[in-house]
């Protein structure tokens, strides 16, 4: 299958264009894949794989970074109530330290794709992946730079990944309130850096990251 034929310049801002072209070629379970949490000093990197229904209102799905937290939560709830198929994958802070953030992000994406299946055996048959790199799975796929603005499926995955990660960091706040993860979600804010300097790293801090490794024993 010729990608140049399948994916000409995107017309008219239709962010379901890639999915529709693939559907026309018999690929009915096209999934978007994205991750959240490459930049924080703590917590996992989280990935999502989403297959939107063929009749999805693609205009609803936007890059998660351009949405308010409340809007993300509402869209996430709508996805959960719909017939969309959703897979989640994580790579822990320990795995990030062992592998590096790039490889850990791809691992989380692979786990999300592998998790994107239902009881009837439905699973992705093509992947649209945000970024420059493909997921290390044996599936046809296309990597799209700034994919959240080019594919509704990737945008939906970006929303799921972000919401799931925010929920996880809220849970971490309950265990380690001294770092205030509820507010900054592990990102390197001034207050977060000060908390690390005062208390040292927690078990969920990424010890290979600048801003954490300086305070490791």
pTM metric for this prediction: 0.93
Q: What CATH number is associated with residue 53?
A: 3.30.420.10
Number of domains in the chain: 1
Q: Which residue did the predictor score with more confidence, 217 or 176? A: 176
Does 207 fall in a domain?
no
Residue 6 has pLDDT above 70, yes or no: no
Q: What pLDDT is stored for residue 8 in this prediction?
A: 54
Answer whether residue 175 is part of any domain.
Answer: no
What range does the domain containing 86 cover? Answer: 3-164
Predicted confidence band of residue 4 (pLDDT cuts 50, 70, 90): very low
Residue 190 lies in a domain: no
Residue 201, domain member (yes or no):
no
150 lies in some domain: yes
Decide if 216 is inside a domain: no
- Segment 151-166, tens digit of pLDDT: 999 999 999 999 999 9
Mean pLDDT of the chain: 92
Beta-sheet strand order (sheet of 85-91): 85-91, 45-51, 30-36, 126-130, 141-144
What sign does the dihedral 147-148-153-158 (CA atoms) show?
positive
Q: How far apart are CA 99 and CA 91, in angstroms?
A: 10
8 A C-beta contact, residue 216 and residue 201: yes
Express each pLDDT in 104-154 by its tens digit: 999 999 999 999 998 778 899 999 999 999 999 999 999 999 999 999 999
Classify residue 183: in a domain, yes or no. Answer: no
Q: Is residue 176 part of a domain?
A: no
What pLDDT digit, counting tens, does each position of 28-76 carry?
999 999 999 999 999 999 999 999 998 888 888 988 888 899 999 999 9
Kindly report the three-state secondary structure assignment for every residue of the chain.
Answer: CCHHHHCCCCCCCCCCHHHHHHHHCCCCCEEEEEEECCCCCECCEEEEEEECCCCCCHHHCCCHHHCCHHHHHHHHHHHHHCCCEEEEEEECHHHHHHHCHHHHHHHHHHHHHHHCCCCCCCCCCEEEEECCCCCCCCCCEEEECCHHHCCHHHHHHHHHHHHHHHHHHHHHHHHCHHHCHHHHCCCCCHHHHHHHHHHCCCCCECCCCCCCHHHCC
């Amino acid at each position: 299958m010729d990608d140049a034929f399948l994916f000409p310049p995107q017309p008219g801002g239709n962010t379901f264009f890639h999915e529709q072209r693939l559907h026309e070629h018999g690929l009915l379970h096209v999934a978007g894949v994205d991750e959240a949490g490459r930049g924080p000093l703590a917590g996992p990197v989280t990935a999502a794989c989403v297959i939107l229904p063929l009749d999805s209102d693609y205009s609803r799905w936007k890059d998660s970074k351009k949405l308010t937290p409340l809007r993300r939560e509402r869209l996430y709830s709508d996805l959960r109530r719909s017939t969309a198929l959703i897979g989640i994958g994580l790579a822990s802070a320990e795995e990030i330290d062992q592998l590096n953030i790039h490889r850990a992000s791809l691992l989380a994406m692979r786990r999300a794709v592998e998790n994107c299946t239902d009881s009837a055996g439905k699973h992705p048959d093509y992947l649209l992946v945000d970024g420059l790199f493909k997921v290390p799975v044996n599936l046809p796929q296309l990597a799209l730079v700034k994919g959240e603005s080019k594919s509704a499926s990737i945008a939906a995955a970006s929303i799921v990944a972000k919401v799931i990660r925010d929920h996880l960091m809220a849970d971490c706040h309950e265990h380690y309130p001294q770092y205030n993860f509820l507010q900054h979600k592990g990102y390197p804010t001034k207050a977060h850096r000060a908390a690390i300097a005062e208390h040292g790293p927690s078990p969920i801090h990424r010890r290979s990251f600048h801003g954490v490794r300086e305070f490791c024993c």
